[in-house]
Amino acid sequence: MKIFIVRKSYRTQYHKPLILETGDEVIFGEEEKEEKWKGWIWAESEKGKGWAPVQIFEFSPDRTIGKVLENYTAQELDADVGDEVIIKKSLNGWSWAENLRSKKEGWIPDEVFENLEF
């Protein structure tokens, strides 16, 4: 287990996170164009809307609708400078992490860490 130190505070941007379950159907919006966030797509379902990683979807041929391949939550993680976190999964410039101070888990952008290497 490797612990990373937060070098730039982060606060949740979306307070009502998208939550999807395997088999849910979604309608897709635009894909993220900014280079550091490529691999994220706007997804909408009966359960809400938000950004999700393209890796969790099976896309229709025209990429307008799809099916969820694994459970997912867009829950973000608040962190302050100096907080220690354990990264459990990384995708497309973001990491699913646990903040050791708050004991909470969520997505946090990799840019808040100094010298992040996997």
State pLDDT tens for residues 78-105: 999 999 999 999 999 999 999 999 999 9
- The answer to whether residues 69 and 80 belong to one domain is no
Residues 58 and 88 in one domain: no
Expressed as residue numbers, the domain containing 53 is 19-73
> Per-residue DSSP letters for 14-69?
-SS--EE-TT-EEEEEEEP-SGGGTTEEEEEETTEEEEEEGGGEEE-TTSSEEEE-
* Torsion sign (Cα): 29, 91, 76, 112: negative
Which pLDDT score, from 0 to 100, does residue 115 have? 62
Spatial CA neighbour of 47 closest among 19, 66, 69, 14: 19
The count of other CB atoms within 10 Å of the CB of residue 109 is 16
Q: Is 71 helix (H, G, I), strand (E, B) or coil?
A: coil
Q: Residue 91: its pLDDT value, please?
A: 94
Provide the domain count of the chain: 2
